[in-house]
């Protein structure tokens, strides 16, 4: 009996679609339009604003004002550290983990080969790998912190290993970085965090070139490898050679710490303040301590990593989807009004008003599935175009994964069911 009824509902819903072929097609297309735009813009926004790290909540960016009032915009401390402060903070090791980071544009080659290749790397401290969950395919990070011992050891990417040695496992081999020999201690798996949270200062976080290697900060400094990216000075350099950058107040080093819980946050903030007052006492700073300790999320906001257009277009497309829902609701409404007599006949032949509602919602569900199919096809093609147009780092993430597909499917069906609510209520009032 129950099954019989269900069958009848399906049958009538199916009949409805056949009878209103064109407008059903139109409704599914309209909903698909709305779903596609929302899915694309939200996916883009989500990718740009995500923090691609497991324990992102434990990472913080300390900033210390070494320039004094008026040095940086709006009285905030400059957005990076100078050499002196970065090294002092690294050496005092007051956080659970800490790493200074600077970008290197180097020439690398395997020992014995005559030709160099361009490689993008970073000089980092030992804790970096654990803090940013760098995945290793072979080997591991270097063992002794470069802050104390100068080990010429390097961690390279899978890509660089393949390019230099044609084999993935090149641990133990040597490469030359800017002419100095470094021993490979680890090979990373493919690792492309988007946005590149540890280097948003250089290319807004969406740097196209992949990371090829990491070397110890101390070795990089000892070898005199300059940073390739951002450097900003508020005064003239004093001495010649690389040393002058070390002794200047030029800012060029990114700094990250790992802290667990509000208690550690508070004590680290207190430590930063006391560090700044010590500098004031020592005569380096002639102003009161001005420090910040930003969570990684606040840091990305502070640096405007997500462009305005990404958030505006995401919100606007959701509104567009709403318009589509309201719109198809109107179309369905006039459809069913034209079919009023048929519904009255159903009622006369013994269908309850809830049965009529069921028919309409079943109808909406089927059309919604069609809409989802349109949406899927449309989305595949739009993403295909986007992947060719976007910068590499982003395009890599713009794939139609199962999650997105489920979202498209459910939004499309839900939107159609939502737009069928008004007609359903109206029709069930028929007597």
Partner 1 sequence: MPGVKYFLKSLLRRKWFLAIVLGQISLSVAVMSNTSSLIWQNLEILRRPTGVAEMGLVVIEQQFRDDGGISGDWRKLNDQLEASRREDVRMLRGMTNVKSVSVISTLPLFNRGVSFSQIGTRPDQRKGLAYTSVDYGDQDTVKTLGLSLISGRNFIQGEVQHVKIYDTPSPSVTIISEHLSRRLFGEKSAVGRSVYLGGESRPVEVVGVVKDLAGSSTGGWVSKFAEDTLLLPAISNRYKTIYAVRVADPHEGIFKEIVMSSLMGLNSTRLLDLSDIRDYSQIVSDARRSNRGTLYAMIALVAALIVVVGGGIWGISRSLVAERQKTFAIHRALGATKRMLMLSVLLEGFVLAVIGIAIGAVLSEVLSGFLLTHFEVEHLPSVFVFGAVIEVLLVNQFAILLPSVEASRVAPAKLLRES
3-state DSSP assignment of residue 144: coil
Q: Candidates 4, 54, 241, 286: give the one binding partner 1 (CB under 8 A).
A: 241
Is there binding between residue 342 and partner 1 (CB under 8 A)?
no
Question: What region does 207 belong to: left with phi over 0, alpha with psi -120 to 50, or beta?
Answer: beta
As a whole number of angstroms, the distance between CA 268 and CA 98 comes to 12
DSSP per-residue string spanning 381-427: HHHHHHHHHS-HHHHTT----HHHHHHHHHHHHHHHHHHTHHHHHHH
Crossing angle of helices 353-389 and 2-19, rounded to 10°: 60
**How many of the chain's residues bind partner 1 (CB under 8 A)?**
75
Q: What angle do CA 83, 149, 147 make, to 5 degrees?
A: 30
The answer to the question of residue 283 lying near partner 1 (CB under 8 A) is no
Candidate residues 233, 269, 407, 430; the one interacting with partner 1 per rule CB under 8 A: 233
Query: Does residue 306 interact with partner 1 by CB under 8 A?
Result: yes
Contact between 341 and partner 1 by CB under 8 A: the answer reads: no
Q: How far is the CB of 7 from partner 1 (least distance, A)?
A: 30
CB of 251 to partner 1, least distance (A): 12
For partner 1, the binding residue among 25, 46, 88, 116 (CB under 8 A) is 116
Cα separation, 134 vs 188, whole angstroms? 7
| Residue 411 binds partner 1, judged by CB under 8 A | no
Quote the least distance from Cβ 171 to partner 1, whole Å: 22
Nearest distance, CB of residue 426 and partner 1, angstroms: 6
| Range 175-214, binding partner 1 (CB under 8 A) | 176, 178-181, 203-204
Q: Does 69 bind partner 1 (CB under 8 A)?
A: yes
Spatial contact of 157 and 215, defined as CB atoms under 8 Å apart:
no
Cis ω for the linkage preceding 16 (within 30 of 0): no
Q: Which residue has the tokens 């999320």?
A: 297
323 binds partner 1 (CB under 8 A): yes
Q: What are the structure tokens assigned to 70, written together?
A: 């008026």
Using the rule CB under 8 A, which residue among 123, 131, 324, 408 binds partner 1?
324
Decide: residue 375, CB within 10 A, 0-12 exposed, 13-18 middle, 19+ buried: buried
Candidates 56-64, 88-96, 154-162, 314-322 — which segment interacts with partner 1 by CB under 8 A? 314-322
Q: How many residues does the chain have?
A: 431
Q: Is 94 exposed, middle or buried (0-12, 13-18, 19+ CB in 10 A)?
A: middle
Query: Hey, which residues between 138 and 167 contact partner 1 (CB under 8 A)?
Result: none
The answer to whether 363 and 17 are in contact (CB under 8 A) is yes
235 is a contact residue toward partner 1 (CB under 8 A): yes
Q: Which residues pair with 99 in a beta bridge?
A: 256
Contact (CB, 8 A) for 354 and 15: no
Options 56, 162, 269, 316; binder of partner 1; rule CB under 8 A: 316
Binding flag, residue 396, partner 1 (CB under 8 A): no
Cα Rg of the chain (Å, integer): 30
| Two structure tokens written together for 231 | 């450097």
Strand partners, 55: none
- Using CB under 8 A as the binding rule, whether residue 395 contacts partner 1 is answered as no
Residue 33 in the binding site for partner 1 (CB under 8 A): yes
Shortest Cβ distance from residue 328 to partner 1 (Å)?
8
- The distance in angstroms from the start CA to the end CA of the chain is 24
Task: Among 294, 405, 422, 430, indicate the residue that binds partner 1 (CB under 8 A).
Answer: 422
Judged by CB, which is closer to partner 1: 137, or 162?
A: 162
Q: By C-beta, is 319 or 345 nearer to partner 1?
A: 319
CB of 4 to partner 1, least distance (A): 32
Stretch that binds partner 1, among 96-104, 268-276, 303-311, 350-358 (CB under 8 A): 303-311
Which range binds partner 1 by CB under 8 A, 136-144, 149-157, 233-241, 397-405?
233-241
Measured from the CB of residue 200, what is the shortest distance to partner 1 in angstroms? Answer: 8
Q: Are 90 and 98 in contact (CB under 8 A)?
A: yes
Check residue 110 for interaction with partner 1 (CB under 8 A).
Answer: no
Place of tokens 């900033």: 63
* 76 lies in the site for partner 1, by CB under 8 A: no
Among residues 272 and 300, whose Cβ is nearest to partner 1?
Answer: 300
């Amino acid at each position: 009996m129950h099954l019989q009824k269900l069958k009848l509902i399906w049958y009538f819903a199916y009949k409805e679609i056949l009878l209103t072929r064109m407008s059903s097609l139109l409704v599914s297309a309209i909903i698909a339009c709305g779903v596609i735009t929302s899915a694309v813009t939200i996916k883009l926004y989500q990718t740009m604003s995500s923090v691609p790290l497991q324990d992102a909540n434990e990472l913080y960016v300390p900033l210390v004002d070494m320039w004094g009032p008026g040095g940086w915009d709006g009285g905030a401390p400059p957005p990076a550290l100078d050499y002196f402060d970065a090294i002092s903070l690294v050496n005092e090791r007051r956080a659970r983990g800490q790493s200074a980071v600077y970008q290197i544009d180097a020439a690398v080659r395997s020992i014995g080969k005559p030709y160099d290749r361009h490689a993008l790397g970073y000089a980092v401290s030992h804790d970096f790998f654990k803090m940013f969950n760098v995945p290793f395919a072979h080997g591991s990070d270097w063992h002794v912190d470069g802050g104390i011992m100068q080990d010429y050891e390097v961690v390279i990417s899978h890509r660089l290993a393949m390019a230099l040695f044609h084999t993935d496992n090149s641990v133990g081999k040597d490469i030359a970085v800017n002419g100095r020999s470094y021993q490979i201690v680890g090979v990373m798996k493919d690792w492309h965090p988007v946005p590149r949270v540890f280097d948003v200062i250089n290319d807004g976080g969406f740097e196209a070139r992949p990371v090829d290697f990491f070397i110890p900060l101390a070795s990089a400094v000892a070898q005199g490898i300059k940073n390739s990216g951002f450097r900003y000075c508020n005064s003239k350099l004093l001495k010649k050679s690389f040393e002058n950058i070390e002794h200047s107040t030029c800012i060029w080093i990114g700094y990250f710490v790992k802290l667990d819980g509000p208690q550690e946050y508070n004590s680290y903030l207190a430590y930063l303040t006391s560090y700044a007052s010590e500098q004031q006492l020592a005569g380096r700073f002639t102003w009161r301590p001005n420090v910040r300790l930003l969570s990684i999320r606040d840091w990305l906001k502070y640096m405007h990593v997500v462009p305005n257009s990404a958030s505006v277009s995401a919100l606007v497309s959701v509104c567009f989807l709403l318009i589509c829902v309201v719109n198809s609701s109107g179309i369905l409404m006039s459809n069913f009004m034209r079919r009023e007599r048929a519904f009255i006949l159903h009622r006369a032949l013994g269908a309850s008003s809830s049965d009529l509602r069921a028919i309409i919602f079943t109808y909406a569900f089927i059309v919604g599935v069609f809409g989802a199919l349109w949406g899927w096809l449309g989305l595949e093609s739009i993403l295909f175009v986007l992947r060719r147009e976007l910068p590499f780092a982003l395009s890599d993430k713009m794939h139609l994964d199962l999650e997105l597909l489920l979202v498209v499917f459910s939004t499309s069906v839900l939107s159609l069911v939502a737009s069928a609510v008004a007609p359903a209520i109206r029709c069930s009032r028929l007597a």
